[in-house]
Every structure is written in C-alpha cells, then in structure tokens.
Structure 1
Amino acid sequence: MTNVSEDYLNQLTNDPLGPVALHLKQKLLPIEGEGGVIFPPTYADIGYNIDTLSDGTKVATIDSVGSQANRLEPLFKTPPYSGLIPQIEVDYGSGKVSILEVGHRLGDALVRSSTLQKEAQDAFKELLASGNAQKLAKLAPTSLVFGVWDSRDTQAKLPRLVQSVIRAWGVEVLTRSAQYNPPIDYSALEVFSEEDKAKQEGDPKSPLAKRGFVHVPSGSALGGIVCRNGIEQDITINLVALRRLQAGSDEETKTLRRYLLGLSLVVATAPMDGFLRQGCLLVPVPDSDAKWQIVGRDGKRSTIAMAHDFATDYAVAKAAEFVVGESRLGDKAVKFSRDLAKTDAASGDKKASAGAKAGKGGKGKKPGASDGASEDVAEEA
C-alpha cells in the first residue's frame, strides 16, 4: 500500500505521464441488511431505470452521477468545509438560495438572472479564449469539481473531476398493493348520495376518491427491488481532466490544480450520507476490503491510504495557498434581477422559434433530438 504524502499528491497534479485516476469501489447494504428491499428513483415514463445485460443480469440505477453530484456538493456549505470555497447566495426578495443548491451550477438560469451574471459570463469566456480556469475557481470552484456546461450562453463545458454512481446488480422488481378505507361512511351522513358513492368508489381518479371520501384500492404499484448480487458505489477522481486545467502562469496553474484536488479528495472521502430517499437508506458493508486505488496509464492498480482527515488537512493548506474567492452572504448576497430573467426567458423563446422554423426548412435539429446535455438536475426521490 502506498502511503500518501503532500508531495505525492502535488506530483499527481503536474506529472503529464502520471496516473489517470483515483478510484474507490465500495460495497453497500440496505439498513435492513442483505436481501433487504430498497427503492430506486423513479423516472417519468419508465419507472425504475433497470437495464438487462446480454447474460440476463439486471442492473438498477440507485443514484445516478448527476444525483450524486447534487447530494455531495452541499457538503461545502457546512463547517469545517465551508471555508474551503466562496459562499455565494442569490437574494430573490423573499429568501436566499446558495449557488451550491442550483442544478446547473454556474451555468444555471438563476445565476444568469442575477447580478452575478457578468462575472460568470466573463469567467466562462476567459476559459474558452485561453483555457484559464482561474476566474471560475475564484467564483465557483465546485463547478470545476462536479463539472459544468454553460449550454444556454457561452457553451463553455468542463468535465467532472469527481464522479460517483450507485448501482444494484442482479435485481428483481417487486410490486405492492394498498387499500384506502375512509374512517366513516360519508354517504350515511348525507355528504353525498349512495348513488354517487357507488359510482365513484374504487376509481382513484374520481373526485370523491381524490378527496379521500370513498374506498380506493391500489394494486401493482412499484414496490422496490431486491438485489441478489450486491449494491456498489463507484467514486472516481479524474486526474487527466485535472491536469488539463490551466491558470495564468505555471506557478498559478500548480496552485489551482492542487486546490481543486484538495476539494475533490474532501468530497470523495467524506463519510457517506446514505439516506437517498424514502425506503433507501444505505450503509457501507462493515469490515469490507474497500480501498482507494491509483490507476496508472497502463491500467495497473495499486492501493493507497487515503484518509478523510488527511484529505481535509491537504485541502485546507491548498485553499490557503490559492486564496479562496470572496464570499457573498447576508447583505452582500448577489441580487436576483427580474429584468435579466425576463430577457433571458425571452431569448429562449426566440431561439425555440428559430429552431422550429429551421426544422420546417429541413435544417437544424430533428424534433426531440438530444443536444447531448450532461447537466445535473433533480431526480424524483
């Protein structure tokens, strides 16, 4: 096992022929133990996201890459990690929201609709013009750690440095049924007639059923899954993507990369919050042999000792060297602009109209074609 030191981590950020990634494969269990029923996320139109491999094995997505990023990023709002990055809130009048909680990060509509718009746009433009990510890191470093695509404006796009995903293997889908019984007979109290009760009882779409006045059965709903071959979380820190990031000078580039590696290590090694949704509370398998590995360009793997406390100490030191960007909280929070939001929304209408006209003329995208967006959005819990 390789003992990790500050010098070792510094070298990972600068050696162009160095290892390609740090990787952890961690086995997880439902809180009920092996064989316990868990509930994956449900998606519009498809329900659970379950793929069948060529050998018949069924694999379920328990938490996608995007969803994991959205769960991990708010770690930086809480001490002792909050001092590692600039804390920025958007004041929208009746409340404030942290940019750590917006799905598209610095490329989000909320940022474009605030007084942060020009700074964000300038940072993206500098990245596109010269490859310099310094302004982005001073403004919103988690947009570099978890990736960002400014798809509605400059088109600047950065891959994730940290990627996490949770999958279940060898799954079997269960169903569940339920029956709602009202506590009293409302028709006997002449709230409605026996005839209305007879017509609407048992129909979940009927007005009385929707309001909870009559008996309503529910059958064959999704009832979770059983995982026969285990649940696994894969966490990867992409060292190749990290070494492609540049700053103004060689020394600034070194400082930038070390700072971002520190942030990546902190969030990747932090103790897992396994409450993903109702019916899905996961914990690591106790006494498992999960270890961080360094993956070389030749594919060879070696185990390294990567403790969260050490990662945090490294991140604190590198944040001090980098000099974390300005926080904007409370009275200094950036302001939401209704005018900017209206202008941005109107520009979207114009682009949609232009795209529709292009489609009629045989040019442009086909209706429903994907633009390849890889932004993080909320999933149904």
Structure 2
Amino acid sequence: MLAVTAEMIDAWADDVRGPVALHLKERLLPVEGEGGVIFPPTYADVGYNIDDLSDGTKLATIDSVGSQANRIEPIFQRRPYDTLVPQIDISYGNEKKISILEAGHRLGDALIRSTELHQEAQEAFLLFIDKGDASKLAKLAPTSLVFGVWDSRGTQAKLPRIVQSVIRAWDVQPLTRSAQYTPALDYSALDVFSEDEKQKSEGKAESPLAQRGFVHVPAPRAPGGVVARGPIERDVTVNLIALRRLDGERGQALRRYILGLCLVAAIEPVDAFLRQGCLLVPDNRSPAQWNLVGRQGRRDPLSTEDNVVVRYAERAAEEFGVGPRRAVSFDKARAKQDVKSADKKSKLG
C-alpha cells in the first residue's frame, strides 16, 4: 500500500503521463442497520430515481453528484479550511447574508449575476475561453474549478468537475406508505362551514378546506422509501487528467493549489444526514479504500493521512496566493435587468 506524501501529490499535479484518477469506494449503512428503510430524493414528475438494469436489478440514486457537491463545498467556510479559499459574502434583505460557497451553480449562479461580481466573473470566464487561462477563476472562486461550473446564461464557459461524488443503493425494493390527516375539531359542528361543504371537501386534497387543514384527508400509497438488499455505496473520484488540463499564469502553482482543495474535499467524511429518513454512516465491516488508478487500469491502494493532505493544501494555497476576502451586496436592479434579458432572448429565440 502506498503512503501518500507531498512529493507524490506534486507529481499527480505535474506529470502529464501520471495516473488518471484517485477513487474511493465507501460502503454505507442506515443508522437502523442493514435492511433499514431509507428515503431517496424525490424528483418532480419522477418520484424516486430508480433504474431497472438488464438483469432486473433496481439501482437507486440516494444522493446525486450535484447534491453531493453542494453538501461538500460549504466545508470551506469552516475552520481549518476557511483560509484555503477566498471568503465572499453577499448581503441581501434585512441584514442577511449568504456565502458564494452556498450558491448552487457557483460562479455561474444567478446570485453572482445580481452583484458587482458579475463583470469580474465574466472576465474570468472569457479569459478561460479565449486563452485557456483559469488563474482568474482560481483567484475569484476556486471551488468552481473543484466542483465544476457552467456559465450557461452568459459566456457558455464550461469546466468539468474534478471531484465527483455520488451515493447509490443496489438491488432496492421500493416501499409505499399511507397516512390520514385528522383535524383537531369537527369544524362543521361549530358552524365554521356547513356539513354539506364538509362532505364535499373531505378526501379531496385539492379542496380549499383540505388545504387549510379543516377536514379529513387521506394520503394513500405515497412513496415510502426503499430497502437496499445490496450495498449502499459512495463513489468519490478525483479526475487528475481534468486537473492537469488547467493552465494559466503560474500554471504549476495553480494546479497544485486546486489539487490541494480537491483532496481536502475528497477526504471530508460524508454528511450523514441527507434528508428526513436517510441517515447513513460508514459500514465498519467494509473499510473504505482509496486507489490510485493508472493509465493502463492498474489500481494501487493508498494510505492517506488527513494531516498530510491538509498541510499540502495549506502550503499550495500559500504559494499560489488565495484571493481576497470580499463583501458585496445583492443588487435588485441587476437581477431585474437579468430577468429582462432572459425574457428578451426567449422572445427572440
């Protein structure tokens, strides 16, 4: 087993003939234990995302790539990682603020277009498109390089994810559940409305009285989670080829800086509480294992020490130079103008 060192990480960033990826496979269990019911995310018009494979196996998405990225990224707001990236806070409303690290589409988010950062972000994207130079992106929003970004409403610049994480459950059995809403009182008996109105509204979730909670409403056979008869697995991949394609002013320092951030993100333990009814922990019967994947498919097990990774990331951040801390404000006028631009394009298109 290879013990990860700073020199080894440097080589991953610098050697164009080096390995293609780092990969972690981690088995998870519900806190209730094997066979416990877990609730996948529910998507509009789809329900649970369950695929039927050719052999009849049902494969469920428990946490998507995008969702995992959005869970991991905010670690850079907290110690000891907060010094590794520029902290940009956007104020809005009545003394409220949100970090750029919480914007789901990162530097391509509508939130960024609604602040004074918009012009700077556009210049950084254009520099990447025109010259392949990612240095301004790294100074402004380096996690956009780590987790990927697509400026789909602007320059169309697209940078692939370097860190990708996803959780899937194998051989799942979907379940259903039923419920019955019962009002606290018989409101028709208290003359809030008539008995006839009550009879017409009960059992009809779309009726106004049902929506306001005044009558009985059944909820039969709604999605009730899944039982995984196979493993629940988290796969984390660090794409070293995508990393080494990053270039720009002081390209080597840039790549080492971004790789340091990628490794910090990759070693962070999974957020166990994914949603109501889905609390997952590592399966200690099957320890997680990092592998270094070579160009010919060779897989070398790695032994990683968190302190080695964090020290490397800190050194690389210091050498590259972390962008400045910023405080900007949400600008309603900019947001309205962006909406008008979208309406105009829609009419023209």
TM class, shorter-length: over 0.9
Pairing of 1:41-56 with structure 2 (within 5 A): 41-56=41-56
Distance in 1 between residues matched to 2:337 and 2:187, nearest whole Å: 52
Corresponding residue of 1:275: 273
Distance in 2 between residues matched to 1:255 and 1:56, nearest whole Å: 49
1:311 to 309, 312, 320: 309
Shift of the 198–340 alpha-carbon distance from structure 1 to 2, 3 Å rule, reads closer
Higher strand content, 1 or 2: 2
What one-letter code is carried by the residue in structure 1 that aligns with 2:39?
F
Distance in 2 between residues matched to 1:88 and 1:79, nearest whole Å: 15
Task: After superposition, give the CA deviation of every residue in 1:10-61 in whole Å (9 maximum; x if it has no partner).
Answer: 0110111110000001000011110000000000101000100000000000
- SS in structure 2 of the partner of residue 283 of structure 1: strand
Gap regions ≥5 residues in structure 2:
none
Contact 2:179–2:220 (Cα < 8 Å) also in 1: yes
Does 1:350 find its partner at 2:312? Answer: no
Corresponding residue of 1:145: 146
Corresponding residue of 1:187: 188
What one-letter code is carried by the residue in structure 1 that aligns with 2:220?
G
Contact 2:60–2:170 (Cα < 8 Å) also in 1: yes
TM-score in terms of structure 1 length: 0.89
Corresponding residue of 1:371: none
Q: CA deviation at 1:327?
A: 0.6
Contact 1:269–1:307 (Cα < 8 Å) also in 2: no
Pairing of 1:254-269 with structure 2 (within 5 A): 254-269=252-267
Task: After superposition, give the CA deviation of every residue in 1:42-89 in whole Å (9 maximum; x if it has no partner).
Answer: 001010001000000000000110111111111101111111000001
RMSD: 1.2
Corresponding residue of 2:333: 339
Does 1:227 find its partner at 2:228? Answer: yes
Task: After superposition, give the CA deviation of every residue in 1:195-239 in whole Å (9 maximum; x if it has no partner).
Answer: 222222222222222222222211010000000001000000000
Q: CA deviation at 1:307?
A: 2.5
TM-score in terms of structure 2 length: 0.97
Corresponding residue of 1:12: 12
Does 1:24 find its partner at 2:24? Answer: yes
Q: CA deviation at 1:128?
A: 1.1
Distance in 2 between residues matched to 1:149 and 1:350, nearest whole Å: 21
Contact 1:90–1:99 (Cα < 8 Å) also in 2: yes
Distance in 1 between residues matched to 2:204 and 2:168, nearest whole Å: 36
Task: After superposition, give the CA deviation of every residue in 1:140-186 in whole Å (9 maximum; x if it has no partner).
Answer: 00000000111111111100110000001001110001112222222
1:292 to 290, 293, 309: 290
Pairing of 1:55-204 with structure 2 (within 5 A): 55-94=55-94, 95-204=96-205
Contact 1:175–1:221 (Cα < 8 Å) also in 2: yes
Distance in 2 between residues matched to 1:304 and 1:106, nearest whole Å: 33
Q: CA deviation at 1:343?
A: 2.3
Corresponding residue of 1:205: 206
Corresponding residue of 1:239: 240
Q: CA deviation at 1:93?
A: 4.3
Contact 2:72–2:268 (Cα < 8 Å) also in 1: no
Task: After superposition, give the CA deviation of every residue in 1:252-307 in whole Å (9 maximum; x if it has no partner).
Answer: 21111111111011111012211000000000101423210000000110101112
Distance in 2 between residues matched to 1:79 and 1:136, nearest whole Å: 23
Show structure 1 runs of 4+ deviating over 6 A.
none
Distance in 2 between residues matched to 1:175 and 1:291, nearest whole Å: 35
Greater shift in the superposed pair: 286-295 or 258-267? 286-295
Contact 1:172–1:225 (Cα < 8 Å) also in 2: yes
